[in-house]
């Protein structure tokens, strides 16, 4: 019997709206962690360009390398939690490192920024994959509430993002970047306090405690958990180096993708041999396919933190109610729409399932990518209403982010739930880490895409407002058409992918 099935019914029904009571503790812990992460993200590109005087292309590549490493780190964090640390200790270690990272950035120069980034990357690796894994382990196999539970959890993520993109963005751009980064660090400490104080609420989830292997002495009087904890600090200089020399990321991320894909498919084949079935290998192949699809979505979606923010700064009329909205604050439209529509989508999936009309997972991904593409094409409409300063109306970004958000709701919370359903229980953390690898590659590729919109011409001269607008709109339009083509291809391959999933809905 899978240990996930042992969760008792009374506990699993004791929480919000019939969900496990631990869900809301994890909801608020993740909310504040996302406040920390998005507080950093919302200011990073503008901090690099306006405070550290980086060019657009350099800023985009640094941003891409940083966010890529943030999402690659859960591969290691998931593996170490599965085998040694347990999920609870891993999450707490990650929270402490992330808070330290934000406070280091207050040093105010590039050197301190890169050290702080390194701590944030390592901390996120422990926190992000493992808190999502705990959410999945609160539910029994086949529990129809799982998709709804992950969507509720996803709303928590976006409340944190909304707070970051309003409070942290506003404080950072008006009072000074260091105050924004400091607020983000305080948010992470709040999340840590909630996670620890509410530990009894999610205690029924299996895999929380340090494993027997983690307690073994491996270096004199020190056990494996202690060695890993100290060793994690040594990864910070490595992250520093990789952000500075970000071209190395091409090879590292490609190598990681090939290695993790082979590892998961091999693990699936071993499960098939052990259980005398032909199912897990196919499911792992399907998961690798979804990782590729996920990369195509998020590489374009993550223009929000780079090219779309600089586009808002230079070519969007942000005057509203007699004031000018800070450029970084335009990123708040996405989490705001998530909060507005997230609960509606959560209920919608349940109701569609009851009447047998719930789209397959591949079709949800196709619809999500289609809406993302249409969002970028909205800039063509905005181009028809340009003012004398070569700025499109703010409503252009509102509609763009609306379509990006509805696309995200078709794909992202469903993706988290899908990983927990497709993967064998003994590699749940590893599979979740692999899923976040696809985000890592997407963020890094997104940084490269953003360099195409840079504010300088081929000869290095700064573009005029008119030339910059034409360049942004041209790149965004091309992205839109490519995404629509990808969506059509996924729809065509819907049935073969569903066959590989062996009944997972």
| Backbone CA torsion sign across 22, 26, 27, 29 | positive
3 state SS of 219: strand
What pLDDT shows up at residue 503? 85
299 CA to centre of own chain: 11
Question: What token pair was written down for 122?
Answer: 């390592």
Q: Strand 319-320 and strand 323-324: pairing?
A: antiparallel
The answer to whether residues 126 and 94 touch, using CB atoms and an 8 Å cutoff, is yes
CB atoms near residue 142 (< 10 Å): 9
What are 324's strand-pairing partners? 319
What pLDDT shows up at residue 456? 58
What does the pLDDT profile of the chain (505 residues) look like in tens digits? 333 333 344 344 556 667 888 899 999 999 999 999 999 999 999 999 999 999 899 999 999 999 999 888 888 888 899 899 999 999 999 999 999 999 999 998 999 999 999 999 999 999 987 998 898 888 877 777 777 787 788 788 889 999 999 999 999 998 999 999 999 999 999 999 999 999 999 988 888 999 999 999 988 889 999 999 999 999 999 999 999 999 899 999 999 899 989 999 999 999 888 888 889 999 999 999 999 999 999 999 999 999 999 999 999 999 988 899 999 999 999 989 988 887 788 788 888 888 988 899 999 999 999 999 999 999 999 999 999 999 999 999 999 999 999 999 898 877 877 888 898 877 776 787 788 789 899 999 999 999 998 765 555 577 888 999 999 999 999 999 999 999 999 999 999 999 999 888 7
Domain limits, the chain: 6-501
Q: What is the Cα–Cα distance from 99 to 36, expressed in whole angstroms? A: 8
For the domain made up of 6-501, the CATH class stated in words is mainly alpha
**Angle between the 87-105 and 56-80 helix axes, to the nearest 10 degrees?**
160
CA trace torsion 119, 120, 123, 124 (10° rounding): -160
Q: What is the Cα–Cα distance from 9 to 27, expressed in whole angstroms? A: 20
489 CA to centre of own chain: 24
| Backbone CA torsion sign across 473, 166, 339, 91 | positive
What pLDDT shows up at residue 350? 81
Phi, psi of 368 (to 5 degrees): -65, -45
Q: What is the Cα–Cα distance from 311 to 314, expressed in whole angstroms? A: 5
**CA dist 42 → 197, 256, 328 (Å):** 29, 27, 6
């Amino acid at each position: 019997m899978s240990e996930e099935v042992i969760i008792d019914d009374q506990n699993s029904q004791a929480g919000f709206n019939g969900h496990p009571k631990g869900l809301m503790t994890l909801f608020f812990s993740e909310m504040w962690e996302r406040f920390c992460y998005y507080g950093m993200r919302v200011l990073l590109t503008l901090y690099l360009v306006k405070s550290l005087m980086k060019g657009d292309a350099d800023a985009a590549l640094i941003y891409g390398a940083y966010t890529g490493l943030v999402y690659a780190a859960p591969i290691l964090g998931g593996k170490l939690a599965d085998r040694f640390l347990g999920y609870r200790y891993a999450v707490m270690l990650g929270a402490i490192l992330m808070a330290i990272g934000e406070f280091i950035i207050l040093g105010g120069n590039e050197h301190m920024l890169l050290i702080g980034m390194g701590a944030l990357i390592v901390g996120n690796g422990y926190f992000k994959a493992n808190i999502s894994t705990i959410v999945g382990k609160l539910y029994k196999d086949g529990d129809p509430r799982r998709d709804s539970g992950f969507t509720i959890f996803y709303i928590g993520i976006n409340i944190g993002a909304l707070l970051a993109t309003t409070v942290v963005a506003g404080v950072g751009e008006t009072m000074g970047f260091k105050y924004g980064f400091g607020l983000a660090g305080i948010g992470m400490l709040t999340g840590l306090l909630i996670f620890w104080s509410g530990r009894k609420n999610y205690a029924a989830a299996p895999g929380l405690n340090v494993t027997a292997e983690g307690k073994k002495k491996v270096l004199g009087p020190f056990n494996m958990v202690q060695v890993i904890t100290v060793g994690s600090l040594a990864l910070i200089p490595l992250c520093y180096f990789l952000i500075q020399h970000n071209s190395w990321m091409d090879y590292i991320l490609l190598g990681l993708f090939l290695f993790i894909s082979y590892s998961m498919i091999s693990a699936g084949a071993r499960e098939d041999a052990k259980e005398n079935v032909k199912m897990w290998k196919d499911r792992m192949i399907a998961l690798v396919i979804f990782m590729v699809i996920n990369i195509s979505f998020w590489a374009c979606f993550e223009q929000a933190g780079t090219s779309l923010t600089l586009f808002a700064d230079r070519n969007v009329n942000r005057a509203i109610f007699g004031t000018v909205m800070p450029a970084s604050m335009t990123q708040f439209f996405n989490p705001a729409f998530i909060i507005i529509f997230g609960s509606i989508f959560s209920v919608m999936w349940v109701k569609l399932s009851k009447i047998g009309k719930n789209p397959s997972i591949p079709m949800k991904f196709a619809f999500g990518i289609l809406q993302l593409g249409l969002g970028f094409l909205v800039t063509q409409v905005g181009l028809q209403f340009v003012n004398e300063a070569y700025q499109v109306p703010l409503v252009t970004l509102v509609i763009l982010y609306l379509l990006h958000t509805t696309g995200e709701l078709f794909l992202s919370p469903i993706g988290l739930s899908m990983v927990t359903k497709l993967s064998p229980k003994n590699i749940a953390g590893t599979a979740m880490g692999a899923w976040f690898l696809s985000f890592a590659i997407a963020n890094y590729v997104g940084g490269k895409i953003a360099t195409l919109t840079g504010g300088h011409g081929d000869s290095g001269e700064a573009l005029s407002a008119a030339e910059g607008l034409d360049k942004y709109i041209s790149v965004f339009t091309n992205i839109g058409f490519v995404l629509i083509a990808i969506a059509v291809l996924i729809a065509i391959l819907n049935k073969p992918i569903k066959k590989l999933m062996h009944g997972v809905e």
